[in-house]
Chain A
Amino acid sequence: IRAPKAPELPIVERRNWLIHQHYIRKDYETCKVFIKEQLQETNGMCEYAIYVQALILRLEGKIQQSLELFQSCAILNPSSTDNLKQVARSLFLLGKHKAAVEFYHEAARLSEKDWEINHNLGVCCFFIKNFKHAEEHLNTALQINKHHKTFMMLGKVHLLTGDTDKAIDVYKRAVENFPENTELLTTLGLLYLQLGKYQKAFEHLGNALTYDPNNYKAILAAGSMMQTHGDFDVAMNKYRVAACAVPESPPLWNNIGMCFFGKKKYVAAISCLKRAHYLSPFDWKVLYNLGLVHLTMQQYASAFHFLSAAINLNSRMGELYMLLAVALTNLEDGENATRAYEQAVMLDESNPLVNLNFSIFLYNHGDKKAALDQYQEMERKVNLLQDSSSSAEFDPELMDMAQKMRAALQVADNVVWTKPGKDSKSKPNSAAATKTPGAPLGSNQALGQAMSSAVSYNKNIQLPTGTNFTFCRQECEWVKTHSRENVSVKLVQNAHSDLAWKSLP
C-alpha cells in the first residue's frame, strides 16, 4: 500500500510581492489582511510578512510592539542586515540611542559600505552628544552616498560644536550637490545672515524662493532683509505669500506690521502688531515694536504699558529702557524717566543714541554738567563704532541732533561723522525734522508739576502689565528672532531721534 500523497506545501514567500505592493501604496488595511493570511498559512514563518507588519505598527506609533516583531524577524533570519537596522531604528525612536548604536554597529559588521547605517549612527551619536563620533560617521556616510539628509545633519553637528566655518563648508558642498534643495539653500542663507554676509545670504535665500516661492523661512528672512533696505512694497509682496501659507505666524505679522510702520500706515501697523502679540504674547520684540509705534502715535500711556511688559520679559536691553524713559518723559514723570535712562546707559554698550537722548533729557532739565558727560560718552561710542568698521553709517538725524547738542553745550567737535550712504532710503521722519525747527529749549519744564508719586521706577518694572496673557505659544526658531531684531532696531533709531528732537531748539 502506498502512503497517501503528500499535499504540496505553499511557498512561504508567495505573497511577499503583494504585501510589498500594498505597503508602498500606503494601503495598510489591505496589507494587514494579506499579512494575517500569509502568517496563518505559514504558521508565522514568513519573515517578510512579520517585517512589514512591524513597519506598519511603527507607522501607527506602536514602537515597542514593532521592536518586538523586528526582533523576532532577526531570530528567523539572523544574517539579515535589514532586520538589525530596523531593530536599531525602533530603539532609536524609543529614545534608546545607546542600544541603537550597538545594533547599528552589529549591522555594520554584516554590511560594510552602507550609507543608512553610517548616517543613522551619526544621528544617534548626535543625540547622545558624542559630536566627534557623529561627525566621523556622517562623513563616512557622505563618502558612500551624498545624501542631503546627511549634509543637513553634519551641518547641525558643526553648528552645535560652535564650528560655524565648517558648517558653512558642509552646506556649501551640499548646495553644490543639490542646487535645487530649498531646505539646504535656506539653511545656508540664514547662516550667512547670522554672520552678517548679507549679499551671500540674499543670493541663497533668493535661490530658495525661485525653486519654492512658498518657502516660509526663506520668505521671512529675505523679507526682513528687504525691509532693512526700505523696500517695503517688495517685502510686503513676499509676506502676502507667507500669510497664505502660515496665517498664524507671530513673527510674520510682526514684520508686516513694521512694513506698514515704514510706510507710515500706523493704524495698520498697530493692527498687525496686535495680532502678532495675540499670537505670541510673551514675545518681547513684538511688545517693543508696539511700544515704538505707540510712541510715534503720541500714545504715551499705551506705549508705557507695552514697553514695561517688554522689559518684564527681557530686562537686559538698554534700548528698551531708553524707550521707556522717552515715554515717561512725555508722561511728565521726570523722576522715573531719569531712573530709566540711568538703567539704559548702564546696560547699553554700543548705541550712541541712548546717551544722546539722555543728554538731551538732562539738558532740558537744566543739568548741563551731566548732559555734557552723556554727550562725551556718546562721542566715545561713535568713535568706537567708526574704528571697528570703516563702513559704519549713522542716521543723518542722529548726526544733526548731535550737532545741535554740541552747539548748545558749547563743546569742541571731536567726532568725524562718516557720510551717510546715498542709498539710505529709510528716513521716515526726515519730514518731521524740518517741520518744527523753533521749539524752545526745555519746553517740557513742567517738571514741578510732575507727580510726587512714591512709586519708584524699579517697582515699575515688576509690574505684571500683561493681564490678558491667556496662552503661550512656544516659538524657538532663530529665523524669526533675527528678522525681528533686524527690523525693529533700525526703526528705533529713526523714531528716536525724532522724539528727542522735539525738545531741542
Chain B
Amino acid sequence: KPAGSLTGTDHCPAEKHIRKWLDAHYDPVAGLYTFSSCVDLADLSGDGESRLVVGDLGSGLSGMKLKVFQGTALLSESTLLDLPTGLVAFFMDLHEPRIPAVAVASGPCIYVYKNLRPYFKFTLPGLEVNPVEQDVWQQVKEGQIDPLTMKEMLEGIRKKADVPLSVRSLRFLSLETDEMDEFVQLHKQQPIKRQTVITCVGTLKKSTADEDGVSCLVIGTESSNVYVLDPEAFIILSKMSLPAPPTMIDVTGQFDVEFRITVACRNGNIYILRRDSDKPKYSMELSSHPVGLVRVGKNVVVGCTDESLQGFTQKKLWRTTLPAPIITMAAMDLPTRGFQGVLVGLANCEVHLYRDKNLLSNIKTPDVVTSICFGRYGREDGTLIMTTKGGGLMVKILKRTAIFDDRDGTPGPPLAQSVRLNVPKKTKLYVDQTLRERENGVAMHRAFYMDLSRMRLAAAKAYVKALESSLTPMSSSLSEPLKMNAVVQGLGPTFKLTLNMQNTAACRPVMNLAISFLYDENLYRMRTPYLRIPLLVPGLIYPVETLVECTSDKGISDIIKVFVLHEGKGCPLLTAHINMPVSEGLMLN
C-alpha cells in the first residue's frame, strides 16, 4: 500500500475548519528545477501504481536529468543531453501490458523512453535554407569569393530576404576578420542546416477517446509551427503554422475524428487550430502575456501576467483578479467525483483552486510553487504534486471527505464595513475651551485683532527701516538696479569673503561703484577695506573677493557690514550684514 508509506499529517493553517488536503510528503531539498510542462504522472511498469516523471533542468545550463519518483523515493534518474522543454507520458502502441512511453522534448529532438530506457529519437525536419545563402557558401567552397566578400553578401541577404540565415552564417557574421578564414575552412564541407527547437509538447488521441488509446504527439516549435506526429512510425501527420512561436499548448479530441489545439503564443495571443485548416481558426487577443493555459471542458482558462485569471470559449466569459502574480497553472481533474478545477500557483506562496471564477480552496505553501501536477500517484487518485522555487518537492492528498462548496456570486459586504471608524475623542480640555470660546468669543476676537494690528505695525516699521537704510540684498533704485550676495569661505583665522555682484538692468551698464566695509577693528583686519568695482555689464555675475583675518583668539565672532556706494553719493545703494563664523584656526592653537 504505497499511499500508506506517505505520512498523513495535516496542519494546514489556512483552513482550520474544513481540512481538505493531507500533507503527505515534503522534501525541501529535492533539488528539482522544472516547469508544469515537464512533470507528468504515469503507470510506467504496468503494476497499477503511478510514478512521477520529472524533466529536471538541472542548473539551467548543465545537469539536466530525467527523474522518476515512486512514493517518497527517487526511483531512477538518467541524464538528458539538453534542456527539457516538455514531457508527456503517452501510449504509443497497442501492446499488452499497457505501459505508456515517456516523450521528452529537448532542443530540436523528441527522446522517447520505454520502460525507462531510451527507445527512439525523433529529430524535427530542417527548415528551408535560403538558396542565395547556399549559393554563397558554394562559391566560397569553390574558392570563387573571399570571406570578406561573402560577409557583405550575407549581410545583404540578412537585411532583405524572407528566409532567415542559418546559424553558420549568423556566427560567421559575428566573427572578427582574422577568424573568418579558419571558420570557413572548418565548416565549408558540411551542408547548411537550419534547425528549430521545440517549445511545447502535448498529446492527442489517435482514433479512440479511451483512457489508454494510442496518442499522437503534438509539437509546437520556435519556427511558429505545430506538428502532429504519428506515434508508431514517427512521421509528420499534419503541419500547421501560427503567427508567433507557441509557448503553451492544449489539445482535445481525436486526430482521426475532430480535434482542437489551443495554443498560447509569444505575442500574447491565443489561437485555436482545428482539423480542417493549417491556419488558426480563431484568435483571442489578451492584454498581457499568458502564463498558464488550462482547458476545463470546453472552456479555456488563461492566467495572465497582469494578475488576472480569464475564462474563454471563443470569446471572453469572465475575468477575475488575483492577489499576486501567477507562477504556474495546472488542471485538477477528478473524474471519479466529477470535479474539474484549475490550480493556480501564485508568487505569494499560495496555491488557489478555482472553479470558473470562484475560489474554492487556498493552500499555503512554505515556498513559491513553480510547477503543479494533479492526478493519480501511487494508488491515490487525488494527489497534488508541486515543486518549489527552492527545489522542493511537495505531495498533498485530497481528503476523500473534502467537499468544495461553490461560494458563488456576490461576496456580501466587505469586512471593512464593520470596522469602527477611527475618530479621535475630544478631551475635557477641548470641551472646556469650547465653552470658554462661546462665552468670551467677542473678547477673544478683539484681543486677536489688537495683537494682529500690533504685529502689522511692527512689520511695517521694520520694512520701512530696511528700505531707508538699503538693507535689502536688492537695490531698487532705477539708475543702479543691483543684486548682491555674499559667501564666506574658510575655517579661520583668514577667511575669504566673496561678494557676487549682478547688474539686473535690461541693458544699461553701471559704473563708478565702490565697496567699503564696516567692522570691529579689534576683531578683524581686512587687507583691502575699500574696493573699486569695475563696470558692471547687465546680467553677468561679478565675484569680488577680499581676505578677512580674525585677530581675536577668544573664539568670538561679529558682524561685518558691507556697503555698496556710488561715487560722490553719501547714501549706500546696498547694505549687507555678514555674520562671520567663529574662527576655528585660532581656537585650535
Seen from chain A, the residues whose Cβ lies within 8 Å of a Cβ on chain B are: 3-4, 6-7, 9-18, 20-21, 24-26, 30, 33-34, 37, 42-45, 78-79, 82, 115, 145, 147, 149, 180, 210, 213-214, 236-241, 243-245, 247, 256, 260, 267-268, 270-272, 275, 297-302, 304, 330-333, 451, 453-455, 463
**Segment 141-182 of B: residues with Cβ below 8 Å from A:** 159, 162, 167-168, 170-171, 173-175
**Min CB–CB distance A453 → chain B (angstroms):** 6
A55→B124 CA distance, assembly (Å): 31
A15→B85 CA distance, assembly (Å): 9
**A21 — nearest CB in chain B belongs to which residue?**
B35
Count of CB-CB pairs between chains A and B under 8 Å: 165
A33→B285 CA distance, assembly (Å): 30
**Min CB–CB distance B569 → chain A (angstroms):** 36
Q: Mark B178-198 against chain A: 1 for CB-CB distance below 8 A, else 0.
A: 000000011101100001110
Given contacts A6-B189, A14-B107, 11 further A-B contacts (CB under 8 A): A13-B222, A15-B83, A20-B247, A33-B60, A147-B285, A213-B414, A241-B416, A256-B423, A297-B434, A304-B445, A463-B452
A18→B168 CA distance, assembly (Å): 23
**B183 — nearest CB in chain A belongs to which residue?**
A6
Is B423 within 8 A of A299, CB to CB? no
Query: Is B410's beta carbon under 8 Å from chain A?
Result: yes
A488→B229 CA distance, assembly (Å): 73
**Min CB–CB distance B175 → chain A (angstroms):** 8
Query: Is B413's beta carbon under 8 Å from chain A?
Result: yes
Query: Is B406's beta carbon under 8 Å from chain A?
Result: no
Is B187 within 8 A of A301, CB to CB? no
Is B445 within 8 A of A300, CB to CB? yes
Q: What residues of A have a CB within 8 angstroms of the CB of B416 in the complex?
A: 214, 240-241, 243-245
Q: What residues of A have a CB within 8 angstroms of the CB of B442 in the complex?
A: 300-301, 331-332
A176→B247 CA distance, assembly (Å): 33
A33→B60 CA distance, assembly (Å): 10
Is A82 within 8 A of B186, CB to CB? no
Is B441 within 8 A of A330, CB to CB? yes
A270→B326 CA distance, assembly (Å): 46
Q: Which of B60, B167, B420 contacts A10 (CB 8 A)?
A: B167
Q: Which of B200, B266, B417, B448 contacts A240 (CB 8 A)?
A: B417
Interface size on B, residues (CB 8 A): 75
Q: What residues of A have a CB within 8 angstroms of the CB of B285 in the complex?
A: 115, 145, 147
Is A44 within 8 A of B107, CB to CB? no
Query: Is B338's beta carbon under 8 Å from chain A?
Result: no
**Min CB–CB distance B199 → chain A (angstroms):** 4
Q: What residues of B have a CB within 8 angstroms of the CB of A79 in the complex?
A: 162
Is B174 within 8 A of A25, CB to CB? no
Query: Is B444's beta carbon under 8 Å from chain A?
Result: yes
A238→B420 CA distance, assembly (Å): 12
For the complex of A and B, the 8 pairs showing the least CB-CB separation, nearest first, are A43-B174, A244-B416, A17-B199, A241-B416, A331-B445, A213-B414, A9-B167, A24-B289
Is B453 within 8 A of A256, CB to CB? no
Q: What residues of B have a CB within 8 angstroms of the CB of A26 in the complex?
A: 305, 325, 347
**Segment 41-73 of B: residues with Cβ below 8 Å from A:** 57, 60-61
Is B222 within 8 A of A240, CB to CB? no
Q: What residues of A have a CB within 8 angstroms of the CB of B426 in the complex?
A: 267, 270-271
Q: What residues of A have a CB within 8 angstroms of the CB of B170 in the complex?
A: 12, 42, 45
**Min CB–CB distance B191 → chain A (angstroms):** 11
> Which of A11, A237, A302 is packed against the most chain B CB atoms within 10 Å?
A11
A297→B577 CA distance, assembly (Å): 51
Is A25 within 8 A of B441, CB to CB? no
Is A3 within 8 A of B189, CB to CB? yes
Is A6 within 8 A of B196, CB to CB? no
**Min CB–CB distance B11 → chain A (angstroms):** 29
Is A301 within 8 A of B444, CB to CB? yes
Is B438 within 8 A of A451, CB to CB? no
**Min CB–CB distance A368 → chain B (angstroms):** 26
Is B421 within 8 A of A256, CB to CB? yes
A298→B439 CA distance, assembly (Å): 9
Query: Is B492's beta carbon under 8 Å from chain A?
Result: no
Q: What residues of B have a CB within 8 angstroms of the CB of A45 in the complex?
A: 170-171, 173-174
Q: Which of A6, A149, A210 contacts B287 (CB 8 A)?
A: A149
Q: What residues of A have a CB within 8 angstroms of the CB of B27 in the complex?
A: none
A359→B32 CA distance, assembly (Å): 86
A82→B285 CA distance, assembly (Å): 15
**Min CB–CB distance A148 → chain B (angstroms):** 8
Q: What residues of A have a CB within 8 angstroms of the CB of B245 in the complex?
A: 16-17
26 contacts between A and B (CB under 8 A): A9-B171, A11-B196, A14-B82, A15-B83, A16-B199, A17-B85, A18-B57, A18-B60, A18-B85, A24-B291, A25-B328, A26-B325, A26-B347, A42-B170, A44-B174, A145-B285, A241-B414, A245-B416, A267-B426, A271-B423, A297-B438, A299-B441, A301-B445, A331-B441, A453-B446, A453-B453
**Min CB–CB distance A224 → chain B (angstroms):** 17
Is B186 within 8 A of A6, CB to CB? yes
A454 in contact with B247 given A300-B441, A330-B441 (CB within 8 Å): no
A50→B174 CA distance, assembly (Å): 15
Query: Is B449's beta carbon under 8 Å from chain A?
Result: yes
Query: Is B483's beta carbon under 8 Å from chain A?
Result: no
Is B413 within 8 A of A6, CB to CB? no
**Min CB–CB distance B513 → chain A (angstroms):** 37
A493→B508 CA distance, assembly (Å): 60
Is B417 within 8 A of A25, CB to CB? no
A299 in contact with B438 given A3-B189, A6-B186, A21-B247 (CB within 8 Å): yes
Q: Mark B295-335 against chain A: 1 for CB-CB distance below 8 A, else 0.
A: 00000000001000000000000110000011110000000
Is B445 within 8 A of A244, CB to CB? no
A149→B285 CA distance, assembly (Å): 13
A65→B444 CA distance, assembly (Å): 64
A115→B286 CA distance, assembly (Å): 11
A271 in contact with B445 given A11-B196, A43-B171, A45-B174 (CB within 8 Å): no
Q: What residues of B have a CB within 8 angstroms of the CB of A463 in the complex?
A: 452
A210→B446 CA distance, assembly (Å): 54
Q: What residues of B have a CB within 8 angstroms of the CB of A271 in the complex?
A: 423-426
Q: What residues of B have a CB within 8 angstroms of the CB of A267 in the complex?
A: 426, 431
Q: What residues of B have a CB within 8 angstroms of the CB of A256 in the complex?
A: 421, 423
Q: Which of A6, A115, A247, A268 contacts B190 (CB 8 A)?
A: A6
Is A11 within 8 A of B449, CB to CB? no
**A238 — nearest CB in chain B belongs to which residue?**
B417
**Segment 440-476 of B: residues with Cβ below 8 Å from A:** 441-442, 444-446, 448-449, 452-453
**Min CB–CB distance B294 → chain A (angstroms):** 15
**A259 — nearest CB in chain B belongs to which residue?**
B421
**Min CB–CB distance A455 → chain B (angstroms):** 6
Q: What residues of A have a CB within 8 angstroms of the CB of B421 in the complex?
A: 236, 239-240, 243, 256
A105→B290 CA distance, assembly (Å): 27
Query: Is B437's beta carbon under 8 Å from chain A?
Result: yes
Query: Is B419's beta carbon under 8 Å from chain A?
Result: yes
Is A82 within 8 A of B267, CB to CB? yes
Is B419 within 8 A of A240, CB to CB? yes
Q: What residues of A have a CB within 8 angstroms of the CB of B370 in the complex?
A: 25
**Min CB–CB distance B105 → chain A (angstroms):** 10
Is A455 within 8 A of B452, CB to CB? yes
Q: What residues of B have a CB within 8 angstroms of the CB of A12 in the complex?
A: 167, 170
A147 in contact with B287 given A43-B174, A331-B441 (CB within 8 Å): yes
> Which of B107, B174, B185, B442 is packed against the most chain A CB atoms within 10 Å?
B442
